[in-house]
A and B are shown apart, each in its own frame.
Chain A
Amino acid sequence: MTSSRQLLIIDDEETIQTVVDFGLKLSAGWSLLKASSGREGITIAQEHSPDAILLDVMMPEMDGVATFKALQADGQTNEIPVIFLTAKAQATEKSQLKALGVSGVITKPFNALDLPMLISRILHW
């Protein structure tokens, strides 16, 4: 957890991006790239190759699942681990999400200070 990481969040809620950014920095000194839609996220992922992607499941237009499939299909991004962010009420689909091949699922709401610990555990960092 001491090494510095760069993550990408794809979430249409700007507030969530801001809070996650602050929490990651404060808790572990990690930096965050932000995208508000699936398409924007894919472009940023291709350009910057972040260490991991936090992906919101429920987004307008291109949802999390479609974004994940597109990331997997692209040779530039298919190696980047993806963690889904999902609301508790949807966590019933957790196993279905995992079956898609994502690295893990983090349930909302969360305390952004816990994220580095949760992510490190999921990705065995």
Chain B
Amino acid sequence: MKILLVEDDALLNKLVTSHLKGQNYVVDSVTDGATGWSYASTFDYDLLILDLLLPQLDGLSLCQRLRAEGDTTPILLLTAENSKTMKIQALDTGADDYMVKPFDIAELEARIRALLRRGQGQASPIIAWGSLLLNSTTGEVSYGDRPLKLTSKEYKFLELLLSSGSQVVGVNEVLSHLWSSNEFPVESTVRSHLRRLRNKLQKAGAPSDLITTLHGRGYYLKSPDSDELTAEGSIASKALAKHNTEAKAASKPDLETSLSPTQPEDEASVESIIDLSKAEQYLQFLNRNWSSAQQTCLDKLAQVAQIEPNERAALVHSLAGTLGMFGLNDALALARQLEAIWKISAEADSPETTSLLAQLQRIIQQTQTIKAAPTSCPREQPPLWVLSNNTDFQTEIESFALKQGFTIRHFNQPKALQKALAQDSPNRIIAQLSCLQDPSVTPPQRSAWKESLGSIPLLIVSHQDSLSDRLQALRWGGQFILHSSPNLLDLLLQHPSAPTSSKLSPSHQQIKVMVVDDDTHWLNTLLHQLQNWGFKVTTLADPAAFWQVLQSVNPDALILDAKIPEIDGFELCQVVRHDPKWRSLPILFLSILNDPESRQLAFGAGADDYLFKPVMVGELAHRITSRLQRIQSLEAP
């Protein structure tokens, strides 16, 4: 759970922040209303705690502004003024709760928990998933009757998955929920926390795939078995009864002991946690040193024309080093391009190098201030692994990578690549489908391959666009792309988690829905009902024409039946999901199959929602629009 605290009293701010952090919350804390506004309008929070009297923008105005913008995040106001008028005003402005200073920290915590539960539509502090129980009041987690000792990050990870139900949680969502906005974790950090969490769950008796990885998309909780589901109610109610008894017994909790039942952070505590003030000081330092560094860089550029051609690569290499330390990524990329050119051929000047040098000089001269310090793992230059035995293809990717400053590693065999994955992990893998078409590979071997990929995106390149090649790519856990596609190289530049298409929901009246079902009678009913709700509906009873219809309709949402003759609805969903164009398309299953396994298959295939027939059309319309809104909010810059 992520909380924003806006409080100008430094001591109180520090106290509340450290206390909440000890309670497993991720906290961003700022000291004035204007910064509070920019944080609250930029990042997603589960709760906002605002002081009433703040410099620049007071708490009431901030609250008012957020509500006017349609922000529904729960807000708790803190103030020293204990007057009835003020309380009424605060609540009328849109605050959800109100506390008068000085307050009891235990009471603040209890109010926070209540607000967070309300925000999530959760009535009880206990969240149950089969035999897995999480008590958000005490921070205790158990599987069956075995307690789990989790680190704070593991706890938050699990809490996020539990509060998302069967929905897929993307890596970006995990990053933004588990780390505060001034920390810069990398994706592999998420994987390492996940690995430890899985181990602990497994030791407590949970199935190994309780937290399932959906390649390239994220993670979700596998539905509990039906036996577990029946037991879930009673486990949860027993846990709640126990919780209530204990809460009564400890009406004045001992803060020392109730602070955090979790273990101290191990490796997590040394993640790239940068204190905001240190980051600011560092940036100021870079700025103080920039003018002299700028001169050094310009001097080096001037030397290029005077030195021997074979010394040029080394000179621009050292220039690149300095530019990188100051976070000048555009200039860094230009210097690297020059380095790459001069490494290959130490010939005299070419029009290309002259133009690159001129651009580089211009950027250096025009840079007056350093706006951002570099991140230790610049996202625009991901290491890339290439699986191919075709030299033309290898050269094509290599020359592109050299220009962009990528690191490349080549593999000829899937086995060699899989072996390397145990040691190291790239940001992305590009493979030729022909390298993977080995008839001797068994399905278990393929599963092992997919498992070793984790959430590393895999692009599978083919020369022909056929359903069979798309299926093959899917079975290898990759995203299909045509070799002739003009997007091929662009895809390599994208950050793995970046959404590939930005399909923002149009106004409700224009939402285009495509429904695939072999039952024509049902299709007709749904067509009219959804039209009454203002949707533009296209129905399809024959899946053979699916791909063509999908391309020409270009829907905003897709509704699939699980069982369509001749084709498996789940596999169809996977094929759609693996095309980058449709990665964000909301896919809802509407099925008569009301069992956990089918739900599981649907979510595993990339579905966003699963509903049973018959369905109330109002419910369906609501699910479609809320899914579109969710995507919109995630894709918003």
Contacts and interface: CB of A to CB of B under 8 A. Distances in A.
B289 A112 contact: no
Nearest to A109: B324
B270 A117 contact: yes
| Most chain B Cβ neighbours within 10 Å, of A23, A89, A112 | A89
A13 B321 contact: yes
Interface in B271-330: 271-274, 278-279, 281-282, 285-286, 289, 292-293, 296, 314, 317-318, 320-325, 327
Nearest to B282: A113
A12 B169 CA distance: 46
Given A87-B320, A111-B376, A112-B282, 17 more contacts: A13-B322, A15-B292, A15-B293, A16-B325, A19-B285, A26-B285, A87-B317, A89-B405, A89-B407, A108-B325, A109-B332, A109-B376, A109-B378, A111-B274, A111-B374, A113-B279, A114-B184
Contacts of B405: 88-89
Contact of A15 (B325, B339, B376, B381): B325
A120 interface: yes
Interface string B114-146: 000000000000000000000000000000000
A117 B282 contact: no
Contacts of A91: 383, 407
16 contacts: A1-B270, A13-B318, A13-B321, A15-B325, A26-B278, A26-B281, A87-B321, A88-B378, A89-B336, A92-B408, A108-B321, A108-B324, A111-B375, A113-B274, A120-B270, A121-B267
A107 B281 CA distance: 23
A113 B278 contact: yes
Nearest to B402: A89
Interface string B366-391: 00000001111110010100000000
Contact of A27 (B278, B377, B408): B278
| Most chain A Cβ neighbours within 10 Å, of B339, B376, B377 | B376
Interface in B251-274: 267, 270-274
B204 interface: no
Interface in A55-92: 58, 60, 87-89, 91-92
Contacts of A88: 378, 381, 383, 405-407
B409 interface: yes
Contacts of B293: 15
Contacts of A15: 289, 292-293, 296, 322, 325
A92 B278 contact: no
Nearest to B332: A109
Contacts of B332: 109
B294 to A, nearest CB: 10
- The A interface, classified by DSSP as helix, strand, loop or mixed, is helix
| Most chain B Cβ neighbours within 10 Å, of A18, A26, A88 | A88
A23 B324 CA distance: 15
B340 interface: yes
Nearest to B318: A13
Contact of B274 (A87, A92, A107, A114): A114
Given A89-B339, A114-B376, A118-B376, A16 B407 contact: no
Interface string A100-119: 00000001111111100110
A111 B282 contact: yes
A16 B326 CA distance: 10
B458 to A, nearest CB: 20
Contact of A110 (B278, B296, B376): B376
B331 to A, nearest CB: 11
A22 interface: yes
A28 B603 CA distance: 45
A22 B373 CA distance: 13
Contacts of B270: 1, 117, 120-121
Nearest to A92: B407
Contacts of A23: 282
Please give me the 9 A-B residue pairs with the lowest Cβ-Cβ distance, nearest first.
A109-B324, A110-B376, A114-B376, A91-B407, A109-B374, A111-B376, A15-B293, A15-B322, A114-B272
